[in-house]
């Protein structure tokens, strides 16, 4: 037969005992029907079995005076892996009646059972087997599959309500002995199948209620997170609404300003049109009184009309080009304004992020200083502990010297020897207790120092990340400054284009006024031509006498013809003269219609 591994047999026996104790505790608690207290025997046996399971395969730690073997070390590690276990660990350390690590471990187990989280705590512990290897051997129950099975069995204890008083109980001096008589079957247990079925139904109902409670707690937490996110989004939307309202107010002010400017421009144009109308009327009156050289003026006006029509066509083409350019410039300006608003919003967000990063950097620097001060204080405490250990070593050497002296004087005085031995034993026990306490404090300080180092490393990593974000933000701010410069250049270019456009509009207005004047002149010329079309000059043979004086035309009395009314006068009768700006000499005017007279060659004049 193959020899079985004794450690495997121990693990199997402990697993079976754990199954029996957990099953018996659940059945007796449900039949008991009340909240369990610390004097309940199945509950005491359960804690004894759990203590034996946790002690299996535990490594022996050598101390200065003795060997230390306790389960408080791995249980104390749970608070670092499961943050919710910090509360019970702090409560156990603050209990005044506990002096040994075993007593603290027993108190921790009782508090975990009352919280109904013993299975969760131990599950976190057995997952981290690399950390458990510091406290347990490789063949220990907590390092093998049996530990996971026991953790699964502990989930069933969540149906039990326990109310244990840990503060006044003496947990240091309890003797952990398993009572096997509790787990032996009797005749009464055989006939209790119906009661077991009822107990199982009650257990299922309680498990369902607890699972439903956990799901409801998770949904409540998710709803709280959703409410927080909605509140944040609501505040952001309110801020955006305020910004949009401010922009609308600004746009309304600009619209009102543009409307006022438009009304002023309309008033100015009306005044200008009235002035031009007055000038046109004055020019019409002057043209009615001066009609010399109408043919030349008509030809010249016709030529100017063609030139101005060509010029007008060119100017209209240029105006169309300028209008299209103006529309393109306005569209580009709108796009630039939109881009600038977006850049300004991003710049504001980046500034806020930069302020937050600066505040976080200041806070991290303060925390770093606080941690450095704590490290200095802990280094001082460690140095003091080292001094105290050196003093204890010196006292131990002195005690050894005294012991040697006492052995030499043993033959002389036995009574004195017994007294000295008794004193030595008492002092050694007190020193051993003090040294064990100092060693515990030193272990605690070492763990705290490791935590502080890890925290400091995380702080340095966070600080490096913040530096990288600050450098990234600086590059983005430099890009924003460059964009500002480009925007200023575009604004200057826009101003230049606006000035050019205004100059071109003024030139167009001047050309329009000139064209209107030329149109009026052409209309006057057309009217004069229409008036002359109905008149017919008399023939030279028929016009022999003056219309006014009725004297015969001769060399001294030359003929003057009125092109407006068609009458013929002599030079003696047509003495009315009118100066014109277009001719250097004054012209003769008809006495009846006051039109310009044109001299004709008579038949008797060579």
The whole-angstrom separation of Cα 594 and Cα 574 is 10
The Cα angle at residue 534 between residues 530 and 540, in degrees rounded to 5: 125
Residues 6 or more apart in contact with residue 432 via CB below 8 angstroms: 65, 66
Tokens 């101005």 sit on residue: 308
Mention every residue, 6+ apart, whose C-beta is less than 8 A from residue 61: 67, 68, 69
Give me the pLDDT at residue 581, please. Answer: 46
Buried b (16+ CB within 10 A) or exposed e, 574-587: beeeeebeeeeeeb
Which range has the worst mean pLDDT, 144-158, 297-311, 549-563?
Answer: 549-563
Backbone angles phi, psi at 582, to 5 degrees: -80, -20
Cβ pair 98, 111 in contact under 8 A: no
Decide which of 168 and 3 is more confident: 168
Residue whose token pair is 């104390």: 76
What CA–CA distance (Å, rounded) separates 196 from 28?
10
This prediction's pTM: 0.35
Q: Which residues face 599 on adjacent strands?
A: 560
Which residue is associated with the tokens 């924003």? 480
Task: Please compute the mean of the pLDDT values over residues 145-174 and round it to a whole number.
Answer: 84
CATH 3.30.40.10 domain residues, the chain: 560-602
What does the pLDDT read at residue 325? 85
**Are 559 and 597 in contact, with CB atoms under 8 Å apart?**
no
For residues 336 and 350, give the distance between their C-alpha atoms in angstroms, rounded to a whole number. Answer: 20
CATH match of 29-183 with 3.30.1490.20: no
Check residue 238 and give its pLDDT: 92
Instruction: Choose the most confident range, by mean pLDDT, from 127-131, 191-195, 337-341, 368-372.
Output: 127-131
What CA–CA distance (Å, rounded) separates 206 from 3? 45
The tens digit of pLDDT for each residue in 170-214 reads 787 777 777 676 666 555 555 555 666 677 777 777 777 878 888
pLDDT beyond 80 at 359: yes
- At 536-594, the pLDDT tens digits run 556 666 677 787 787 777 766 667 666 566 667 677 675 555 454 445 555 566 666 65
Per the prediction, the chain carries an average pLDDT of 80
User: Model confidence over 428-470: pLDDT tens digits?
Assistant: 788 888 888 888 888 888 888 889 888 888 888 888 888 888 8
Query: Using CA atoms, how far apart are residues 592 and 547, in angstroms rounded to an integer?
Result: 11
pLDDT average, residue stretch 250-260: 89
Structure tokens at 266: 């309309």
> φ and ψ at 348, to 5 degrees?
-65, -45
The answer to whether residues 110 and 166 touch, using CB atoms and an 8 Å cutoff, is: yes
The larger pLDDT score, comparing residue 279 to residue 4, is at 279
Report CA-CA distances (Å) from 252 to 12, 256, 336, 337, 399. 86, 6, 20, 17, 98
Report, as an integer, the average pLDDT of 131-156: 88
Q: Are 36 and 113 in contact (CB under 8 A)?
A: no
CB proximity list for 379: less than 8 A, separation 6 or greater: none
Q: Half-sphere exposure of 307 toward its Cβ, with a 13 Å CA cutoff?
A: 9
Which residue carries 């101390």 as its tokens? 63
Is it the case that residue 603 has pLDDT exceeding 60? no
CA atoms within 13 A on the CB side of 317: 5
Task: Locate CATH 1.20.58.900 in the chain.
Answer: 29-183
Name residues whose C-beta falls within 8 Å of residue 320's C-beta, 6 or more positions apart in sequence. none
**Residue 558 CB: number of other CB atoms within 10 A?**
17
Output the pLDDT for position 67. Answer: 47
Fold of 560-602: Herpes Virus-1 (3.30.40)
Position with higher pLDDT, 273 vs 582: 273
pLDDT tier for residue 269 given thresholds of 50, 70 and 90:
confident
Q: Quickly state the pLDDT bin for 1 (edges 50, 70, 90).
A: very low
What average pLDDT does range 316-323 have in this prediction? 86
Mean pLDDT over 519-540 rounds to: 70
State the burial class of residue 301 (Cβ atoms within 10 Å of its Cβ: 0-12, 13-18, 19+).
Answer: middle
What is the pLDDT at residue 249? 92
Q: Is the pLDDT of residue 18 over 80?
A: yes
Measured distance CA(231)–CA(240) in Å, rounded: 14
């Amino acid at each position: 037969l193959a020899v079985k591994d004794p450690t495997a047999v121990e693990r199997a026996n402990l697993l079976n005992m754990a199954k029996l104790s957990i099953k018996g505790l659940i059945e007796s608690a449900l039949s008991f029907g009340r909240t369990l207290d610390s004097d309940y025997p199945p509950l005491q046996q359960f804690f004894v079995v759990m203590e034996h399971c946790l002690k299996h395969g535990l490594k022996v730690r050598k101390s200065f005076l003795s060997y230390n073997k306790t389960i408080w070390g791995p249980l104390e590690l749970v608070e670092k892996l499961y943050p919710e276990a910090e509360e019970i660990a702090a409560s156990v350390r603050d209990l005044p009646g506990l002096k040994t690590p075993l007593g603290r471990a027993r108190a921790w187990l009782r508090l975990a059972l009352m919280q109904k989280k013993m299975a969760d705590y131990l599950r976190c512990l057995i997952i981290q087997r690399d950390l458990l290897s510091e406290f347990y051997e490789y063949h220990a129950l907590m390092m093998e599959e049996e530990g996971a099975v026991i953790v699964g069995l502990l989930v069933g204890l969540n149906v039990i309500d326990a109310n244990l008083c840990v503060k006044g109980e003496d947990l240091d001096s309890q003797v952990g002995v398993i009572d096997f008589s509790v787990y032996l079957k009797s005749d009464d247990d055989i006939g209790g199948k119906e009661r077991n079925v009822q107990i199982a139904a009650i257990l299922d109902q309680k498990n369902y209620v607890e699972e439903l409670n956990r799901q409801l707690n998770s949904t409540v937490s998710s709803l709280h997170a959703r409410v927080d996110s909605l509140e944040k989004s609501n505040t952001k939307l309110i801020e955006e609404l305020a910004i949009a309202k401010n922009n609308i107010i600004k746009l309304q002010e600009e619209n009102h300003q543009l409307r006022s400017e438009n009304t002023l421009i309309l008033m100015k144009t009306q005044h200008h049109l009235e002035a031009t109308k007055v000038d046109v009327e004055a020019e019409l009156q002057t043209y009615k009184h001066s009609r010399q050289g109408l043919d030349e003026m008509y030809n010249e006006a016709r030529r100017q009309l063609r030139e101005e029509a060509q010029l007008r066509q060119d100017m209209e083409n240029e105006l169309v080009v300028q209008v299209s350019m103006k529309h393109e410039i306005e569209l580009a300006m709108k796009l630039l304004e939109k881009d600038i608003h977006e850049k300004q919003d991003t710049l504001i967000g980046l500034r806020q992020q930069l302020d937050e990063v600066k505040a976080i950097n200041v806070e991290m620097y303060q925390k770093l200083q606080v941690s450095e001060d704590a490290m200095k204080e802990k280094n001082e405490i460690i140095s003091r502990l080292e001094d105290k250990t050196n003093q204890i070593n010196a006292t131990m050497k002195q005690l050894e010297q005294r012991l040697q002296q006492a052995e030499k004087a043993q033959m002389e005085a036995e009574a004195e020897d017994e007294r000295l031995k008794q004193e030595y034993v008492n002092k050694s026990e007190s020193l051993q207790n003090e040294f064990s306490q100092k060693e515990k404090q030193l272990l605690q300080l070492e763990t705290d120092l490791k935590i502080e180092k890890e925290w400091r490393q995380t702080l340095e990593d966070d600080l490096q990340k913040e530096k990288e974000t600050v450098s990234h933000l600086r590059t983005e701010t430099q890009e924003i400054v460059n964009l500002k410069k480009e925007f200023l250049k575009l604004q200057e270019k826009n101003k230049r284009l606006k000035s050019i456009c205004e100059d071109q509009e003024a030139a167009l207005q001047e050309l329009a006024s000139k064209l209107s004047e030329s149109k009026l002149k052409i209309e006057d010329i057309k009217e004069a031509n229409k008036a002359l079309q109905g008149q017919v000059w008399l023939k030279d043979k028929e016009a022999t006498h003056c219309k006014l004086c009725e004297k015969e035309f001769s060399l001294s009395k030359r003929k003057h013809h009125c092109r407006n009314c068609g009458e013929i006068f002599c030079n003696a009768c047509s003495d009315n003269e009118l100066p014109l700006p277009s001719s250097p000499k004054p012209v003769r005017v008809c006495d009846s219609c006051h039109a310009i007279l044109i001299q004709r060659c008579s038949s008797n004049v060579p």
